[in-house]
């Protein structure tokens, strides 16, 4: 793994740029632990100050330091993305592996659930959840709901890979030597689908963060927990753009775009690494 990262850093420009962007965003989120202010407290600094040497990213109309507020926000947003990605990857792996390997009625049952999730329109459902639960909706709950909606495409992808692995000799030999279904899936098939899972993880994070920001900007989340979308929501509430407090909106937007581009570039370069043909292009060979 370390060698793989070193090779990617050395030979892939996309990976280098992506790694720098993601590292910057991660650094910012780590700084949240050293914030002098609590994330919820307001009017701790003079309001509406533009960026300066004292307040790097300026201050908000609610008397918060944008820099520290932003570090809390990006930390929560990233944790949200990671939670959604992790939980939905688990569901996708279990469903994909079992469905592809077992086939028959298990496959049909799982895939009919899977396909239902694919066709469900997500945004209206999430808004519906918000209106049903109102104040009880928490950060974690929203992450779990999104995870439940974010696995279906990737489960199908994993299923298709496993269906082809199932017919290969190493699976047959494993079964013949007395390996159980669980052993075949975890020992033989899981290593094969892991690269697929890695690259979909980053796409999934981009997707879930984007959706969370959308919901938060509209005010359909727990607005007291600082997130990127939550910051933009409060800025809009205080008509920041009209009042000329542009830094309140600009810095969160730039940060989340950096996170998006960084994750996207990492996913693209990881995909290129996984696909042997694009590795050939990389060294100037024909496809």
Partner 1 sequence: MHANTEQPLPRQEQPILRVRDLHAQYRTSPFGVGRGVKAVDGVSFAVRRGEVYGLAGESSSGKTTLIKSIAGAIRPPLEIVGGSVEFAFLPGYGGLQRAPRADVARIRWRNLSYIMQGSMSVLNPVRRVGSAFVDFAYPHIGGSRKQFERQVIAHLERVRLDASVLAAFPHELSGGMRQRATLALATICRPDFIIADEPTTALDVVVQKEVLGMMRGIQRETGSSVLFVTHDMGVHAHVTDRLAIMYAGRLVEEAATARIFRKPLHPYTRHLISSLPRIGDDAPREGLGGSPPNLADPPSGCRFHPRCPLATEICRREVPAMLEADDGHRVACFAVDQGGRA
Interface with partner 1 (CB under 8 A): 168-170, 172-179, 183, 187-188, 191-192
In the complex with partner 1, the residue whose CB is nearer, 132 or 167, is 167
Residue closer to partner 1, measured from CB, 52 or 172: 172
Among 151, 158, 140, which Cα is nearest to 203's? Answer: 151
**Which residues lie closer than 8 Å to 52 by C-beta, 6 or more apart?**
58
Residue nearer to partner 1 on the CB measure, 65 or 188? 188
Of 70, 197, 77, 93, nearest to 146 by C-alpha is: 77
For tokens 């927990």, the residue is 225
Could you give the CA distance from residue 266 to residue 126 in angstroms, rounded to a whole number? 28
Q: Tokens standing for 83?
A: 């939670």
Euclidean distance between the first and the last CA atom of the chain, given in angstroms as a whole number? 26
Least distance CB 166 / partner 1 (angstroms): 11
In whole angstroms, the minimum distance from the beta carbon of 187 to partner 1 comes to 6
Q: At what angle do helices 66-102 and 190-217 cross, to 10 degrees?
A: 140
Name the residue among 207, 232, 230 with its Cα closest to residue 76.
230
Nearest approach, Cβ of 275 to partner 1 (angstroms)?
14
**Choice between 43 and 170, CB closer to partner 1:** 170
Q: Which is nearer to partner 1, 172 or 224 (CB)?
A: 172
């Amino acid at each position: 793994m370390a060698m793989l990262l070193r090779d990617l850093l050395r030979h892939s420009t996309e990976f280098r740029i992506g790694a720098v962007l993601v590292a910057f965003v991660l650094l910012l989120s780590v700084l949240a632990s050293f914030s002098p202010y609590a994330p919820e407290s307001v009017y701790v600094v003079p309001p509406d100050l533009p960026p300066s040497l004292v307040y790097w990213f300026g201050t908000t109309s609610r008397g918060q330091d944008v820099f520290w507020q932003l570090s809390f926000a990006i930390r929560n947003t990233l944790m949200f993305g990671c939670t959604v990605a992790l939980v939905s990857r688990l569901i996708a792996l279990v469903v994909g592996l079992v469905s592809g390997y077992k086939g028959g009625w298990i496959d049909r049952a799982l895939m009919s659930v899977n396909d239902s999730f694919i066709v469900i329109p997500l945004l209206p459902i999430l808004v519906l959840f918000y209106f049903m639960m109102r104040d009880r909706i928490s950060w974690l709950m929203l992450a779990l709901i999104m995870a439940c909606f974010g696995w279906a495409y990737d489960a199908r992808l994993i299923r298709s890979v496993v269906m082809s692995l199932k017919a290969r000799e190493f699976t047959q030999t494993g079964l013949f030597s007395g390996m159980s279904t669980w052993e075949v899936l975890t020992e033989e098939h899981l290593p094969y689908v892991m690269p697929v899972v890695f690259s979909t993880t980053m796409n999934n994070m981009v997707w879930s963060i984007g959706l969370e920001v959308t919901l938060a900007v509209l005010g359909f989340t727990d607005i007291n927990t600082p997130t990127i979308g939550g910051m933009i929501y409060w800025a809009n509430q205080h008509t920041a753009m009209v009042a000329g407090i542009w830094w309140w909106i600009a810095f969160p937007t730039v940060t989340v775009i950096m996170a998006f581009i960084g994750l996207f570039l990492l996913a693209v370069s990881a995909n290129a690494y996984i696909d042997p043909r694009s590795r050939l292009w990389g060294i100037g060979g024909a496809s």
